[in-house]
Structure 1
Amino acid sequence: MYVAVGQLTIDRLPDGRRRAGGTVLFGGLAADLRGQDAHIVTAAAPDVEALLPDLPNLTIARADTPTTTEFVNRGTDRERVQELRDWAGMVPVGQVQPRTTVLHLGPVARELDPGWIAEAPAETVVVLTPQGLVREWPHATGGPVTHRLLDPAWSTAIDRPVVVILGAGELAWVGELGERAVAAGGALIVTDGHRPITVRTRGSAVEVTPRVVDLADDTGAGDVFAAAVGLALAEGLAPRDAVAEAALAVGDLLPRIQALLPTA
């Protein structure tokens, strides 16, 4: 089972329509489309449910909150500009099911505590996409999203293999996180658009050149990639091979996922 933890979001599109989003949603749908049981652990208001697709292999445990985290996104990839309008709060640390093969910690707005790492069963592949842990915004009023340094407690909490996946633009903000992951027997995977993907493990550093895919909307591409990496690692692939397979999968999975998401 693939389990994703983080906030479901409402994403405001350029034409004003709303669509559900969040790392956990794109990751969960990617796992479902690959034939895996998928489970999302989240915190959101009931309003998000009308925007969610109904799939038989995807289940959601939602802590009820007064609001759902809402983003306004403009642009793509490194040129994306974001505004955060509402924040749903923290996703409480909870027990992870024993049959979890992949635990994907996918925060979007600092809603996870490092204690989640310790909840994973010993044989579970733990994937951490920390982009949401280094985001900052005006908490009282909402507003533009900028960057802040990662809470060092996250690096300290890595005492087991963890696969850290992030974009090159976030690398300067995560401190020792990647080094700690590699030293603990995990991996650091750094994407950079269409440029080669760097894969670092203990004693090894390689590059994987992704196939160039022309996507009309690349929202969620990194989330789908991270989920696919975790699933491939759980199947026994080496990190380099898992990254190569995941990079190929994005072009197939992302348009199918976006077609499943209703707008309102």
Structure 2
Amino acid sequence: MDLNSVRTVVPAAAAGRWQPGDAWLAGGTYLFSEPHRHLRRLRDLTGEDWPPVTDTPRGLDIAATCTIAELARSTTVRPTALRELVRRCCEAFLASFKIWNTATVGGNLCTALPAGPMISLGAALDGTCLLLTAEGGRRELAVADFVTGEGTTALVPGEFLRSMTLPAASLRSPTALRRGSLFVGGRSAALLVGRTDPDGSFVLTVTASTVRPVQLRFDALPTAGTLRQAVTDGIPAERYVDDVHGLPRWRRHLTLLFAEQIRAELVGRSPR
């Protein structure tokens, strides 16, 4: 879609101070998908030439401009179990190759749709977002806290997402994923990831069925009854998404079903 209210597209590094009507441009698959009549100028991040995926002492650093295709085929993503989780999250887009080669990890996070699978990936592994401003401001925020609601984030005017870091401590933890939708090729109605850590603790991350990520933490793998009660108590009815892709009651049913399937799969699996 043409954004005919936009008057200028400038490289991000040369854009200067943030102005009303500015927006950051990376992949643009959401930006150009519908009217944004308040926009006047796009600050183009695509020329920043950030490496898509970098292995660092802290963990795996994924640039905001990394496309879904680049992440899915990256040989930097290790070990095999992590690569499988990344692949399944990328495939949760259920998008054409055109979208895979244009949509970015950062765009998926910043759009903050409940079904955003990069949100699921980052939150499930306790990822952190690096937020910058053109004036040199810098802060870090957990992915689970970055998304504040359906379509809303913790970004303030002038900030942009530079990267998402998946911490080294989580990269070798066994994980299990479950995803459901109304029909084959449909948007995720529930996407849950469970993780067991070296200290024996268990983390369940609920996305897609809820308006923002929900994490439930246990000192050890819980019993089926304990987990069901924790999900019931930890996710109030108003936090379930209500839209054409699934009613709240059904999403809650999927969440409880998938939570137990994940728990059962992870029994006996320990981090390497």
- Name which structure has the greater RCO, CA cutoff 8 Å, separation 6+: 1
| Structure (1 or 2) with the larger CA radius of gyration | 2
TM beyond 0.5: no
Relative to the length of structure 2, the TM-score reads 0.26
